[in-house]
Amino acid sequence: MIQVMDHLQGQCIYCTMIIEEQRPIHAYNECTEAVADGCGYDAYRQWREGVDFGQAKQCWECGLSQSICRRLERPAEQRLACEYPEIMLPSIFIVRQQQHLGMIVAGLGFQGRYDSEDLWEWLNETAEGFGAEWSSNWMKTWMLICQMCIDTARGEGAEWACK
């Protein structure tokens, strides 16, 4: 997972995950390709405002499990920024917009309607059989997306993944 986040950090997440050919270096919030495909940064920010982790132990900034996020909870004037801001959640948004999230969560055991509140409730639930530490289905979903990216990089041909 860290390998994939390191790869995505400092690049346009959309182009890195979706576009095959090289593009001039730019940030996700400047990507015209993402906007044209319904995955633009403004659309992401609007979607992000609706994300509610409920009681899940996620960092409210980056979305990663608090056991993984290296952001220290300190008073606001001393607060350190997350190491991987805007990596996991924009990636999940892009996967959702590309119509792949339903297949991914179904593979992880989600049985509700993808276009309903059922998905949000399931994402906030504790992931079953997922490591020694408590983690939500958000992290289980993100881990599978990362694994698909790694499999593609190794040439193992996952059904969908970043290039």
Residue 77, classed as helix, strand or coil, is: helix
pLDDT surpassing 70 at residue 77: no
The dihedral built from the CA positions of residue 52, 55, 56 and 57, taken in this order, carries a sign that is positive
Considering the chain, what is the average pLDDT of its residues?
83
Q: Which of 54-63, 66-75, 122-131, 142-151 has the lowest mean pLDDT?
A: 66-75
- Residues above pLDDT 70, as percent of the chain: 82
pLDDT tens for residues 12-58?
999 988 886 667 889 999 999 999 999 999 999 999 998 888 776 78
Specify the pTM: 0.85
User: What are the structure tokens assigned to 140, written together?
Assistant: 């289980």
As a whole number of angstroms, the distance between CA 80 and CA 78 comes to 6
Q: Where are the domains of the chain?
A: 2-55+85-153
Q: What is the CA radius of gyration of the chain?
A: 16
Q: Taking the chain, what is the end-to-end CA distance rounded to the nearest angstrom?
A: 15
- Model pLDDT, residue 136: 86
Long-range contacts of 42-45 (CB under 8 A, 24+ apart): 43/93, 43/97, 44/89, 44/90, 44/93, 44/94
CB 96 within 8 A of CB 111: no
